[in-house]
Amino acid sequence: MSIVSVLNSGSGSRGLPTHAGKIFCLLIAVASGTSQAQVVPPIDWVDVGDPGNAADTTGYGAVPYSFKIMKFEFRNDQYTSFLNSVAATDTHTLYNASMGIDPRGGITQSGTSGGYTYAVKANMGDKPVNYVSWFDAARVANWLTNGATSSSSTETGAYTLNGLTTGTAPGKNPGALFYVPTEDEWYKAAYYKGSGTNAGYWEYATQADTSPTPVSATTVGTGTSGGVSPVVSGNFANYADNADWNGQDGNVTTVGTNGGTSAYSTYSMSGNVEEWNDLTSTADTARGVRGGNWNSTEGSLSRVSRNVYEPATETFQLGFRLSNGVPEIDGSGARLVLGLIVCGLALLEQRRQGR
């Protein structure tokens, strides 16, 4: 029986009392860094270490703790799973009609309110979702934090939204498991050189100080350069309207196929789509955007480039990736902690039952 099935079955694990079994499985999930429940397809995370690193000369990038961030941009297939889970009635405008109308959008909507269903377009499932606001990204974070099921709230958890779709963006709640990266987190994951706390910063998120070469695209939107497809290494990025496919002069391309990674193994933090970040941990009418996109100039990809948008903004150049606040526990420590907790819970249950 899988961790997910145990958590959702209401039965204990290996004869343990029901709630002890559930907590046991939840802690295993946390210890392994995978606390999402029913995300189909799954999300890939990378570790961003070197806690306490120095800030860049720009003033950004210092993060006093380790964290995880998505390896790739949030994709259309992942966002479609989210929509099908929570948006049969699209109360919070999670779906933008341009996703279906625009050839650069990747998701269609069918049915009527109360029975909406969503599907990825041909060749678009592995492309980054676009036409998403900061509020949309925050609701994905809430959904994941609450278990990623059809009954998981999109309104509380990482952020207290209470129906907001425009106006002031709330700050992140303490203890959020999944959330929009802070600007410093995003900047560090993209540009920091790693392997120490004073390692310095690259100019681009491809571990390079020279301008990336723009990638082209295959007929199905895979990033390519010089006949090599996909492009998984080297100083390349999807920008400058060079990735022409699907009848478009410049377009989004398959995540992970557009050039080399950052020092922490994240892909496409330069180019493809711009990505939301949180300028501040408090409520504000503005949120940040970094990284450049498929039709940006070279300067928009560099570490000195940043934009500030109203958090309800939705465009065909704008997407997101999330950070993950699940704590790391080493293997031996995890076994000890889990054993103690499970035994303690079992004893409490026996005492409650008078045994």
- Report whether pLDDT(345) > 70: no
Per-residue pLDDT reduced to its tens digit, 282-301: 999 999 999 999 999 999 99
Kindly state the tokens that stand for 159: 């952020």
Q: What is the pLDDT of residue 312?
A: 98
Residue 159 backbone dihedrals phi, psi, to 5 degrees: -135, 145
Per-residue pLDDT reduced to its tens digit, 170-201: 999 998 999 999 999 999 999 999 999 999 99
Distance of CA 108 to the CA centre of its chain: 21
- CATH number, span 40-327: 3.90.1580
End-to-end CA gap in the chain: 28
Q: Name which of 19-33, 46-60, 123-137 the model is least confident about.
A: 19-33
Distances (CA, A) of 334 to 68, 329, 343: 18, 6, 14
Kindly state the tokens that stand for 106: 């990747």
Farthest-apart Cα atoms in the chain, separation: 73
Q: What is the pLDDT of residue 140?
A: 98
Per-residue pLDDT reduced to its tens digit, 210-259: 999 999 999 999 999 988 999 999 999 999 999 999 999 999 999 999 99
Question: In terms of DSSP H, where are the helices of the chain?
Answer: 3-9, 18-31, 76-86, 98-101, 134-145, 183-191, 331-352
Calculate mean pLDDT across residues 329-350.
Answer: 50
Please check whether residue 130 is in contact with residue 315, taking contact to mean a CB–CB distance below 8 angstroms.
yes
Boundaries of every domain in the chain: 1-33+329-355, 40-327
Could you write out the DSSP letters of every residue in 157-205?
SSS--TT--SSPBPPPPTT-SEEPPBHHHHHHHHHB--SSSS--B-SBT
Q: What is the pLDDT of residue 4?
A: 32
Return the percentage of the chain with pLDDT > 90, whole number: 78
How much is the mean pLDDT over the chain? Answer: 86
Q: What is the pLDDT of residue 9?
A: 32
**Of 316, 319, 302, 297, nearest to 240 (Cα)?**
297
